[in-house]
Amino acid sequence: MSIGRVTFISVGPHISDPLPWRATRAIAEADVVVWTGGAVRDAVLRHASAHADVVLDEQGSTHSLLPFYDLASRDGFRVAHIRSDGSATSDSILDHVDRCGELGLVTELVRG
C-alpha cells in the first residue's frame, strides 16, 4: 500500500502562468483536488485529472478537510490542496500540515 500525500499549493491573486512544475504535477496526480480561500480559477483546475474529485471549500478549516486527509492516510490517496489566499506559511496551513503529519501523510508546500 502506498503512503498518502498532501501537497499544499499557495496561489495569490495573480497566479503565475504557467504554474510551477511541482504544482502542476501535484494537481495532475491528485485523487482529490481541494480549492479553498477564494475564487476558483479554471486555468488552475484544468490540470486535474478526469478521475480526480474536485472539492470547493470556502473556509478550508482543518475540521472540514479532515475526512479527505483521513482518506489519503487510509487509502494512500494524493490530495492537492490549493489555497488562493496566498497563505502557504500561515498558522492555518501549519495546523493542516501538523494534522497530516499525525496521520502519517507526506506533505509538501508549493508556491504558485
Torsion of CA 19, 21, 23, 27, to 10 degrees: 100
CA angle, 82 then 29 then 91, to 5°: 30
Instruction: Delimit the domains of the chain by residue range.
Output: 5-86+93-111
CATH number (3.40.50.300, 3.40.1010.10, 2.40.50.140, 1.10.1740.10) of 5-86+93-111 reads 3.40.1010.10
Give the tens place of pLDDT for each residue, 4-52.
999 999 887 666 567 889 999 999 999 999 998 777 788 888 999 999 9
Q: How far from 42 is each of 45, 47, 65, 66, CA to CA, in Å?
A: 5, 9, 21, 25
Of 96, 89, 76, nearest to 32 by C-alpha is 76
Q: How far from 38 is each of 13, 58, 83, CA to CA, in Å?
A: 9, 7, 8
More confident residue, 16 or 65: 65
pLDDT score at 17:
61
pTM of the model as a whole: 0.88
